[in-house]
Structure 1
Amino acid sequence: MKRAEDLTIPRELPKTGEIAQRLNWLRAGVLGANDGIVSVAAVVVGVAGATSGNGAILTAGVAALIGGAISMALGEYVSVSSQRDSQKAMIAAKEGDLARAPQENLAHLATAYERKGLSPSTAALVARELTGHDALGAHLSAELNLDVDDVVSPWHAAFASAIAFTLGAILPLLAILLPPEGVRVPVTFVTVLLALGITGWTAARIGGGSRATAAARVVFGGALALAATFAIGRLLGSSGLVG
């Protein structure tokens, strides 16, 4: 049994907001990869249904990869920029509020801690001590569940989304181009559905949901997308509209 002096205690524990943010980034990366797998796989399988030319399949796949990555990055940038602006506005508003009415805000902070289960005297003591240490941080944490250091970066989100999408998109490209012509569509179906099962299972594990249900759901959706695009490509190819 270890003695108390033998135990190593970290000087600073990770903040709850930081942990949640890391989990959100990880889950967003998994979902971005999932999007890359499905969207590019649907394109290349559809083209493969219409024509056997590697050039056409490669061109369509690369175009889908680049366009999808840019679209994902732009969408994430706009979304996170709006979130960042909202967070900054809340921080600025709270700073102004603290400057105008410090005592009133101190009472509000004590009330917030009472609602969390502290006795009135303990809540007042905690509010005073935290206000003396970092008034803005205390109010943001207790009232808005926000930390100044947790303000998200839209550029980080955009790059992460584009990279995740690209990594996912490379898989169906390789699966459709590397095997012989006669088996490349079945190989792509199997490869993509296995990868989707893994991403669905991983996302559920991060989020704490049912892994089997999530994996089955994303595999079913991916299979439906692949089957639909391949059928449409085959129909267009046999009609003579494309060749």
Structure 2
Amino acid sequence: MAERRGILAFVVGAVVGSLGGLIGLGGAEFRLPFLIGLFRFAALEAVILNKATSLVVVASALPFRAATVPLATVAAHWPVILNLLAGSLAGAWFGAGWATRLKSETLYKVISALLLLIAIVLVFGHDQSLTSLPPFSGPALIIAGIIAGFAIGVVASLLGVAGGELLVPTLVLLFGIDIKLAGSMSLAVSLPTMMVGFTRYSQDQSFGVIARNKWFVVLIAAGSIVGTWIGGMLLGIVPEKVLLPLLAAILVISAYKVWRHE
């Protein structure tokens, strides 16, 4: 039974990693509904396991992205990264603390609503041809960046995701960053943001779910890394006009199932 569960964890990780890799993301937003619906983890436990897996996947993605976008290029935009981190770190701590205080049935509803939000962002915020001039400048841009970062940090903690699905359009639309560069910059914001949320979750008794399921985490993380690589190799084969609405539809269905979860 345990062996079958381990194999299933790897397969699910590979499938959701491939879905995310097709659009340059880690796939954590697709992984969470499986943790809740298929593997029957409680809402908070699923979020914590998703966060642990996301940390491994994002950390492994850094060297792969460096081959496409040099780290020096990412580092050159350190003011933007720090601007978003100023909000996202606080948001991650607040979001994780909020999640540990919510009743399980309420957390299911929150997760469902956020999955719908991600679906909307996928359709309207991830157009590869999207370009934008920053709508603000000076202090107004800094304030807007902190507010956006805080909101993203909260969402990332509540779902246990890296937040790239929200960070990429924010970097493009708010700061005017090229979308390919935004993908790498999002990792620089995501990793410390996830570590803060992870640290906050470690103070809750539900954090013990990782120790009880350590091999499950290893296998689903390994599958996710393989899947992300596969999705990256297939990137561009499926037209985005078809792919993004399809992935959004999957999230909408997942949101409905999580909402109805008992």
Q: TM-score range by the shorter chain?
A: 0.3 to 0.5
Higher Cα Rg: structure 1 or 2? 1
TM-score by length of 1: 0.34
